[in-house]
Amino acid sequence: MREISRRTLLAGAALSPLASDYRIIDPHVHVWKHDPDYPFAPGARASARDATPEMLLDLMKANGVSQTVIIQVIHYRYDNSYLAGVLKRYPGVFQGVARVDPLDAGAPDQLSRLTEEGFRGVRLSPAGDASGDWFHGPLMPPLWKRCLELKVPMTVLAAIGRMPQVAQLMEKLPDLTLVIDHMADCPVSQPRELEKLIAMKRFPNVFVKITHTWSLSRQPYPWLDSQELVKRLYDAYGPRRLMWGTDWPVDLTWTTYDKTLSVVRDDMKFLNADDKSWILSKTIERVWPFGG
C-alpha cells in the first residue's frame, strides 16, 4: 500500500495554489474499504466502491487541505477498528470520531477506551422517527457526561426536529463541546425550522457544520437557496462557531470534493477573509486541535 507521510502531505499543501496564511482542515469525511479483515456490519448498505485514506490524501493534496477529521462510517457500525488502524498509520494528519452503541449501558466506558486509543469524540445519529427516540432516553445523560469528563466533543447528526431534545441535554451539561452536523439537514422548503438550531446559540460550546449545502439545495452550484440557511447561521453564531466540511465521499452523489471547498472559499459572498480563516481552519482547531 502506498504511504504518504505527514511531511509530504503538508509540503504539498503549502505549495498548492490554494494555500493561504492558514491551513485548511476538513472536519468531516468517511473512509472504508472492502476487506475481509474489516467486515461491514450485518445489513450494512455499503457502496460498492472503496473510500480509502490514500484516495482521500490525494484529494487533500490537490486541494490544499492539510488535515482531516474522519467520522466513523455507519457501514462498520460500532466496530471502530478499521478507522483505528487508519489513525495509527497517519498520525498528525487525521483525527477520528468514533461510534458507540447508544442502546448499550456500557457505551460510556467504551468511549473511554476509544479515547485512550486515540479517538477524539463520538457521533450519534438518531433517526427522526420513533426508531430514534432512544435519544431522549435514560442512556443519553451518562454518555454525554462522559464526553464532558473526557473533554472530547459530542457530535450529533439528527434532523432539525430533534434540536429541542439536543438542547435539553445541553441544559444539563452546558460546558460540553457539541457539534451539530450538516445544519441538522434543515430543508430549504422549511426555513422556519432552522430557528430550532439557531436557538441553541445560547450554549457557547455549540458548533455547527455548514455542510450539505449541495444535498439540501434545489438549485445548481453554488446552491444559493441553501446558502440562505448558512447566512442565517452565520448571523446567529458568527464564524468562530461554524465549520465547513466535504462529507467525502457522500458528497460525490451530488457534487465533487473541490466544489464543497470552493463554495465556502470562493462563493459565499457574505464571508470576508477573516470569516473564512475561522470556518475553514481555526474553528475546527478549537474543537479538534492538531498542534503544529
pLDDT at 148 over 80: yes
Position 64 pLDDT exceeds 50:
yes
Rounded to 5°, angle at Cα 283 from 117 and 286: 45
pLDDT for 10 equals: 44
- CA–CA gap between residue 156 and residue 270 (Å, rounded): 27
Domain holding 113: CATH number?
3.20.20.140
Q: What is the mean pLDDT of residues 49-72?
A: 98
Cα 188 to Cα 265: distance, rounded to the nearest angstrom: 22
Q: Assess if residue 65 is contained within a domain.
A: yes
* Residue 62 burial (C-beta neighbours within 10 Å; 0-12, 13-18, 19+): middle
pLDDT, tens digit (0-9, with 9 covering 90-100), for 191-203: 999 999 999 999 9
Position 291 in a domain:
no
pLDDT in tens, 154-191: 999 999 999 999 999 999 999 999 999 999 999 999 99
What grid cell was written down for 214? Answer: 449541495
Cell numbers for 217: 439545495
Asked, for residue 11, whether it belongs to a domain, the answer is yes
Domain-located, residue 206: yes
Report how far residue 127's alpha carbon sits from residue 131's, in angstroms, rounded to the nearest whole number.
6
Return the pLDDT at 21: 82
Does residue 76 belong to any structural domain of this protein?
A: yes
Q: Which three cell numbers stand for residue 189?
A: 422548503
**pLDDT at residue 14 above 90?**
no
Count of domains observed in the chain: 1
**Which residues lie below 8 Å from residue 155, measured CB to CB, with a gap of 6+?**
71, 97, 121, 122, 123, 124, 178, 179, 181
Q: pLDDT value at position 291?
A: 81
Q: Give the DSSP H or E segment for 94.
A: strand 94-97
pLDDT digits (tens, 9 = 90+) for 78-98: 999 999 999 999 999 999 999
Asked whether residue 113 is assigned to any structural domain, the reply reads yes
- Continuous segment of H or E residues that includes residue 285: helix 283-287
Residue 133 confidence (pLDDT) above 70: yes
Average confidence (pLDDT) over 216-242 = 98
167 in a domain, yes or no?
Answer: yes
* pLDDT on residue 255: 97
Query: For all residues of the chain together, what is the average pLDDT?
Result: 93
| Rounded Cα gap, residues 18 and 175, in angstroms | 36
Q: Looking at residue 258, what is its pLDDT?
A: 98
Residue 292: per-residue pLDDT: 67
Domain of 240 in residue numbering reads as: 6-286
In a domain, 292, yes or no: no
pLDDT given for residue 1 in this prediction: 37
Give the 3-state secondary structure of residue 178.
Answer: strand
Residue with cell 452550484: 221
